[in-house]
């Protein structure tokens, strides 16, 4: 550092602070030492210094994207035990992780009984998307419909639909856990229709498609909804035991 005068160094520190380049300020001294020792060029030195700022901002941004997505938990693909759930094709899940389906505006449906990992897998894909700066939002079907209903009563349905349509990836969890009355089903249809072939949606459900008429009592509407969901969709049917009951099952199996 001896080739720099103390005042110059202080001036540079002040400039970095003024420009709110906190990380560059924090690492300045260390980068100068490194640069002198390794005889780095001006450009390489600046790259090294700016990388500190870029890395932290990138991390903050990822953090913000994940936060905005409102995931119920932060379970990722690495936390999923594929051996416990052999009905899940690991290769297919890897393909989802590549986010190719988002580029193609395709949907994913996780279908299976309670506790087999539908929400876990949907969240894991969502986290990958959010980390790659894809605008992502997670919501339970019941909450989604309540929000649309409220918006309609308050005369702002249009803007609420637009809001949910703008996400590149929307995860709608737990379709079919509660029945949906025909008026609400129409709202749901409007959203599905708005996203159809434009944006990707991941659905989780414990109800076989044949029985969707029980969730959406009006058959025409049930068909119209299913049609749009399934037209460009990968359906992942998970059979097998509930992971929640794993511990209770283990002693019996041994
Ligand atoms: P579902 O949405 O199908 O009802 P969840 O995804 O909520 O099930 O899974 C229930 C719990 O079990 C969650 O805590 C989840 O992380 C965990 N879980 C489910 N399947 C697996 C698995 N194969 N490996 C690790 N954890 C799992
Ligand atoms: Mg679930």
Specify the CATH number for the domain of residue 147: 3.40.50.300
Is 183 a member of any domain? yes
Range of the domain at 17: 6-68
Q: What pLDDT does 34 receive?
A: 98
Report the separation in Å between the CA atom of 121 and the middle of ligand 1, taken as the mean of its atom positions. Answer: 8
Tokens representing residue 219 in the block: 């058959």
Q: What pLDDT does 213 receive?
A: 87
Q: What pLDDT does 66 receive?
A: 92
Number of domains composing the chain: 2
Cβ–ligand 1 distance for 116 under 6 Å, the answer: yes
Could you give the CA distance from residue 91 to residue 97 in angstroms, rounded to a whole number? Answer: 10
Per-residue pLDDT tens digits of the chain, which is 254 residues long: 555 568 999 999 999 999 999 999 999 999 999 999 999 999 999 999 999 999 999 999 999 999 999 999 999 999 999 999 999 999 999 999 999 999 999 999 999 999 999 999 999 999 999 999 999 999 999 999 999 999 999 999 999 999 999 999 999 999 998 889 989 999 999 999 999 999 999 999 999 999 988 899 888 999 999 999 999 999 999 998 899 887 666 655 44
Q: Judge if 10 and 89 occupy the same domain.
A: no
Q: Judge if 91 and 191 occupy the same domain.
A: yes
Q: Judge if 84 and 152 occupy the same domain.
A: yes
Tokens representing residue 50 in the block: 């700016």
State the DSSP string of 58-92.
HHHHHHHHHHHTT-SS---GGG--TTT-TTS-HHH
Is 252 a member of any domain? no
Which residue's CA is minimally distant from atom 12 of ligand 1? 243
Is 118 a member of any domain? yes
Q: What pLDDT does 95 receive?
A: 98
Cβ–ligand 1 distance for 123 under 6 Å, the answer: no
Q: Where are the beta strands (DSSP E) in the chain?
A: 107-111, 136-140, 169-175, 200-205, 233-237
Q: Judge if 111 and 60 occupy the same domain.
A: no
3-state helix, strand, coil in the chain (%, to 5): 60, 10, 30
Report helix, strand or coil for 127: helix
Is 251 a member of any domain? no
Taking the CB of residue 49, how many other CB atoms lie within 10 A of it?
A: 21
Q: Judge if 191 and 86 occupy the same domain.
A: yes
Give the pTM: 0.87
Q: What pLDDT does 249 receive?
A: 64
Could you give the CA distance from residue 237 to residue 109 in angstroms, rounded to a whole number? Answer: 8
Which residue's CA is minimally distant from atom 6 of ligand 1? 117
Which ligand number lies closest to the CA of residue 238? 1
Q: Name the domain boundary from 21, 48, 68.
A: 68
Tokens representing residue 201 in the block: 């949606």
Q: Judge if 57 and 86 occupy the same domain.
A: no
């Amino acid at each position: 550092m001896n080739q720099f005068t103390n005042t110059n160094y202080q001036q540079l520190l002040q400039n970095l602070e003024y420009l709110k380049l906190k990380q560059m300020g924090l690492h300045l001294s260390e980068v100068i030492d490194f640069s002198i020792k390794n005889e780095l060029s001006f450009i390489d030195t600046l790259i090294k210094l700016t990388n500190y700022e870029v890395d932290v901002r990138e991390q903050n941004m990822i953090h913000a994207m994940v936060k905005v997505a409102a995931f119920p938990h932060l379970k990722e693909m690495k936390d999923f035990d594929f051996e416990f759930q052999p009905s899940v094709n690991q290769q297919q899940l890897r393909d989802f992780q590549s986010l190719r389906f988002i580029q193609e505006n395709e949907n994913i449906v996780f279908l299976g009984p309670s506790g087999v990992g539908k929400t876990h897998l949907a969240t894991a894909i969502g986290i990958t998307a959010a980390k790659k700066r894809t605008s992502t939002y997670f919501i339970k079907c019941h909450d989604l419909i309540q929000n649309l209903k409220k918006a309609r009563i308050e005369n702002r349905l249009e803007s609420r639909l637009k809001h949910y349509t703008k996400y590149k990836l929307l995860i709608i969890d737990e379709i079919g856990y509660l029945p949906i009355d025909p008026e609400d089903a129409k709202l749901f249809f409007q959203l599905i229709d708005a996203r159809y072939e434009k944006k990707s949606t991941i659905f989780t459900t414990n109800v076989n498609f044949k029985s969707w008429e029980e969730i959406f009592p009006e058959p025409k509407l049930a068909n119209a909804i299913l049609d749009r969901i399934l037209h460009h969709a990968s359906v992942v049917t998970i059979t097998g035991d509930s992971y929640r009951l794993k511990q209770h099952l283990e002693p019996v199996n041994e």
